């Protein structure tokens, strides 16, 4: 499992210009089973994605295609975890 910790590099109003394209990218990866959770940070300085069933190389390829990254308004800190316990219903985290 990977946590992708997004951090905005530009003011929120500049980031939100690309919000719909970014959401489309998130949806496409969620539909493909690569992203299982996504959310905005509070207060709004970035966001978090949970990716599973992918390699680090695939995560890097995903990130490179994110409109936030291609437009230079955000970057990601990627952290890999090996989940040893998952609650019922959250077994996908162990993939």
Residue range(s) defining the domain that contains residue 47:
2-84
Model pLDDT for residues 17-43, shown as the tens digit of each residue:
999 999 999 999 999 999 999 999 999
**Residue 92, domain member (yes or no):** no
Q: Over pLDDT 90: what percentage of the chain?
A: 86
**Residue 29, domain member (yes or no):** yes
Report whether pLDDT(44) > 90. yes
**Residue 10, domain member (yes or no):** yes
- Do the Cβ atoms of 1 and 85 come closer than 8 Å? no
**Residue 90, domain member (yes or no):** no
Whichever domain contains 30, its CATH number is: 3.30.70.1060
Peptide bond into 43 cis (omega under 30): yes
CB count in 10 Å sphere of residue 40: 11
**pLDDT (average), residues 63-71:** 98
Q: CA-to-CA distance for 5 and 14, rounded, in angstroms?
A: 19
**Residue 66, domain member (yes or no):** yes
The whole-model pTM stands at 0.90
């Amino acid at each position: 499992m990977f946590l992708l910790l997004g951090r905005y590099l530009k003011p929120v109003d500049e980031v939100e210009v690309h919000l719909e394209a970014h959401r489309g990218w998130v949806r496409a990866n969620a539909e493909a089973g690569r992203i299982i959770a996504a959310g905005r940070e509070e207060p709004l300085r970035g966001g978090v994605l949970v990716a599973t069933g992918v390699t680090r190389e695939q995560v890097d390829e995903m990130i490179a295609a994110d409109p936030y990254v291609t437009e230079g308004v955000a970057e990601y800190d990627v952290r890999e975890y090996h989940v040893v316990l998952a609650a019922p219903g959250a077994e996908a985290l162990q993939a």
